[in-house]
Amino acid sequence: MAEPVFFHPTEAMTVASVAAFLKAEFAGEGGDRLIRGVAALADAGPGDLAFLDNAKYADQLAATRAAACLVQPRNAGLVPQGTAAIVVGHPHAAFVSVSRRLFPQALHPQSLFGATGISPGANIHPSARLETGVIVDPGVVVGPGAEIGSGTLLAANSTIGPGVRIGRDCAIGPGASLTHALLGNRVILHAGVRVGQDGFGFEPGRAKHAKIPQIGRVIIQDDVEIGANSTIDRGHIRDTVIGEGTKIDNLVQVAHNVVVGRHCLIVSQVGLSGSATLGDFVMLGGQVGVNNHVTVGHGAQIAATSIVKDDVPDGARWGGRPAKPVRDWFREIAAVERLARAGKAAGPDSA
């Protein structure tokens, strides 16, 4: 059985055409050699493009079999004979640009059925409105009054609730579900994303806990991407909002009434509690927890595994449990390490 390859380049590029695309120069022979793929230095073969942007991988560069390697000017002399050196200022950024051109199908979910129109296995309510060019896989359910923009993909077994609006050129991954939501253009939801379910709201009582109606919506603006199995709860009495250009990793929980600004980066297993607010260009590392009603200012960065219980100023870098300015956090860690060393030096009988 042949090993399957899931992504193939959509066009033929040569070493010379890659250099021209990047407005870069290349040194060495083989300008007409075809680039059939991209790969890491250690794995690259004669048809692959690789890159070097960290000198600690110089040994891998010396042994690479790549057709061409993207390098900074200072590293051009390290490229071995038989591999063309394409000289650029930022090798990884250039590598991403070429990869996006060669493999555009890897940028968003694709039809699992190879569909190009509406599958007869889909269930679309008669009152739903789909513009021309929408792709609908088998098992998709589209509820009454929903509207789907042209160029959008609804992958297998995704569910679109009543009245949901999805803009143009979006990709809704397999098994995703959307209710009570309005999506802009070019939004990507990966497999298993849940959008619009009610938030966790209860009024505690001695006899029982009364469920609070969640009557808000989810607003997802243009160019947002949300990773697999992440959840975005609808608002309680105001909308949950994800700002334009924000990228959310897998397994992230966004609670009711949360407002996320534009172009934020939110890494896996982050939890945003109810009514938390993130400014624009905020970056949250993996497993960060943000308490309810906390505001994280524009451009702030929070280190992985931190717990944020207080408002964070614009542009701040915080970390720790509870989170605090990084300098204070590092001082605390250093103080604890000094105490541990002192205790160890004093011996087991020091107590």
Any bridge partners for residue 325, and if so which? 318
Residue tagged active-site, from 90, 209, 256, 293: 256
- In angstroms, the CA 244 to CA 288 distance is 21
**What are the phi and psi torsion angles at 343 (to 5°)?**
-65, -40
For residue 297, give Cα distances in angstroms to 249, 316, 325, 328. Answer: 20, 8, 13, 19
Structure-block tokens of residue 83: 């591999």
**What are the phi and psi torsion angles at 124 (to 5°)?**
-115, 125
The answer to whether residues 310 and 294 touch, using CB atoms and an 8 Å cutoff, is: yes
- In angstroms, the CA 161 to CA 118 distance is 17
- In angstroms, the CA 36 to CA 345 distance is 60
Q: Can you spell out the DSSP letters for 28-70?
A: SS-TT-EE-EE--TTT--TTEEEE---GGGHHHHHH---SEEE
Any bridge partners for residue 142, and if so which? 124, 160
Structure-block tokens of residue 48: 């692959």
- In angstroms, the CA 306 to CA 309 distance is 10
- In angstroms, the CA 292 to CA 308 distance is 9
Nearest Cα neighbor of 108 from 196, 2, 224 is 224
- In angstroms, the CA 151 to CA 56 distance is 44
- In angstroms, the CA 91 to CA 89 distance is 6
Residue bearing tokens 């950024």: 93
Is 256 labeled as catalytic in the residue annotation?
yes
How many CA atoms does the CB half-sphere of 324 hold within 13 Å?
9
Catalytic positions: 256
